[in-house]
Amino acid sequence: MDTARLSIDPAFRIGPARRRLFGSFVEHMGRCVYGGVYEPGHATADGHGLRGDVLDLTRELGVSVVRYPGGNFVSGYRWEDGVGPVGDRPRRLDLAWKTIETNAFGLDEFMRWARAAGVEPMMAVNLGTRGVQEACDLLEYANHPGGTHFSDMRRKYGAEEPYDIRLWCLGNELDGPWQVGHKTADEYGRLAAETARAMKMIDPSVSLVACGSSNRGMPTFAAWEATVLSHTYEHVDYISAHTYYDPSDGDRPSILASAVDLDAFIQEVVATADHVAARKREKRRLMVSFDEWNVWYQQRLRADLDRRGWVEAPALIEDTFTATDAVVVGDLLITLLRHADRVGVACQAQLANVIAPIRTLNGGPAWRQSIFHPFALTARYARGTVLRTEPAGPSHDTNRYGEVSSVDTVAVHDEETGGLVVFAVNRGTTDIRLDIDLRGLPGLAGAAHLALDAGADPDAVNTADDPDRVVPRERERPSVDAGWSAVRLAPASWNLIRYHLPPPEGGPT
């Protein structure tokens, strides 16, 4: 079989495996909120209508931060509609997704859910149809202790202590002509800068995310970032990036290589931000917030929107993900980790039902989609310092990305325990032997090898009736001989390979 080789050296450090890289996204879109995280009357729901089965799966998934309430939805959202007595809240037309928003779930419910799930909130403000004052009002409601109009309103509605939200998005995808309140780069950049200055007057400790391009294919990509950051660089902490990869055309070799595009995207956003920093003589380096990413069968969206009128919480882009999609997601996570020095936040879109790792039925069960597993295992085991790995091995051709490496890897070293985890994807069509040089970390022994293999049944999916068809399987435990370890990577597979320091001979196990 073909062979790939990589060396692991603890001196080749990229950065910490940041917990915020394992974020998710809850938008008022389709059934992500209503029928997803929130369903009063469900058998598992608590007294506040929060689905207990979805909460359990969210904790298992290992989600660290959740972006809310959008997404396109936020560009027309009045946050005040979602607080106060539920019976007094107005019903509104949501122009983003052509639905009726009941506002039964709003900021206070989301914060109650976030605390129950053990996740950090990442709040977005509306800079599409609103502006500086409304953003300041929301920040005052969320973070000011009391004694003012909006902070006392929060206390009146039951939240005595501030929510202390640290992460804030200054709008969403305002470069996109589909966006309510679409703006030019100069228009948005100036508004974002004014909003950022005002918000930091209220709470100087918040971290702010300026909108980058909606995707790498936008005609204004890079120029948008350069213009926006020329206005906002001094006032923000992150520039956002969004991307989705569409398997609809059936080009399996290309979709399996999607991480090649993600890698280039990150490098280009970083280069643009650093260019602005150089022009401004800024020593501080901006981080990237990759706060929307996933696999998405995008051709289905238009049909979902066109075939109905104004309704509440319709089923919208409830993609059922395959074993192949799970391998792609695992590889995208490898790329995000590999850029841990500059990617500070990442949010897989979305959490429940809408292109999501968790699916539910109204009144019925919740289950793990195929893409749930590489995310959960990466979040669980990527602890410590990300190490640079550059595998040498076979390559193959793809229609979208040309010649690509057949093997993609990243390693994370836990200095506290001495353990090491290698994440590896075989994008190719044949078995590949991966030889790992561990001489830089002497004393390691093999602990486990888990693999999610899409080669045998690439279109296999999990369903409510068969929720465990696509799961990672244990492989032969890796051995280490004279500082080298060899593992077999099946075709089209995502692999987690763990090593540990065994206890001293005769010591406790």
Domain harbouring 28, CATH code: 3.20.20.80
Look up residue 42 and give its two tokens.
Answer: 């469900």
Give the chain's length.
509
Say if residue 316 is in the same domain as residue 462. Answer: no
Alpha-carbon span 163 to 112, nearest angstrom = 10
In a 3-state reduction of DSSP, which class is residue 277?
helix
Same structural domain for residues 416 and 453? yes
What is the number of H-type helices and E-type strands within the chain? 11, 24
Pairing of strands 402-405, 395-398: antiparallel
Task: Identify the active-site residue in 27, 39, 80, 292.
Answer: 292
| Catalytic-residue membership of 318 | no
| Domains identified in the chain, total number | 2
Q: What is the pLDDT of residue 506?
A: 55
DSSP letter for 89, please. P
Task: Name the nearest CA neighbour of 14 among 423, 336, 485, 282.
Answer: 336
Distance set, CA 279 to CA 161, 227, 229, 276 (Å): 42, 12, 11, 5
Q: What is the pLDDT of residues 154-210, one digit of tens each?
A: 999 999 999 999 999 999 999 999 999 999 999 999 999 999 999 999 999 999 999
Q: Is residue 364 part of a domain?
A: yes
Question: Burial, 444: exposed, middle or buried (Cβ in 10 Å; 0-12, 13-18, 19+)?
Answer: buried
Please give the pLDDT value at position 315: 92
In contact, 38 and 86? CB cutoff 8 Å: no
Per-residue pLDDT of 46-105, as tens digits, reads 999 999 999 999 999 999 999 999 999 999 999 999 999 999 999 999 999 999 999 999
- The Cα diameter of the chain in Å comes to 71
Selection from 433, 382, 247 nearest residue 326 by Cα: 247
At 507 the pLDDT is 55
Type of residue found at 399: N
**Residues 347 and 409 grouped into a single domain:** no
In this structure, is the dihedral angle defined by the CA atoms of residues 278, 281, 284 and 287, taken in order, positive or negative?
negative
CA atoms within 13 A on the CB side of 495: 30
Catalytically annotated residue among 39, 173, 225, 318: 173
CA distance 327 to 290: 19
- CA–CA gap between residue 287 and residue 199 (Å, rounded): 19
| pLDDT number for residue 456 | 84
Looking at the structure, tell me whether residues 361 and 406 fall in a common domain.
Answer: no
Domain ranges, residue 414? 2-11+386-500
476 is catalytic: no
Opening angle at CA 41, ends 38 and 43, nearest 5: 95
Of 363, 381, 399, which one is at a domain's C-terminal end?
381
Asked whether residue 338 falls in the same domain as residue 469, the answer is no
The answer to whether the beta carbons of residues 489 and 424 sit under 8 Å apart is yes
Let me know whether 224 and 260 are in one domain: yes
| 442 and 466 fall within a common domain | yes
For tokens 């999610």, the residue is 452
Q: 136 is written with which tokens?
A: 């300041």
CA distance 324 to 452: 9
Tokens of 173: 């995808």
Identify the pLDDT of residue 308.
80
| Residues of the chain where predicted confidence (pLDDT) is lower than 50 | none
pTM: 0.97
362, 381, 400 — which closes off a domain?
A: 381
Domain boundary among 381, 398, 413: 381
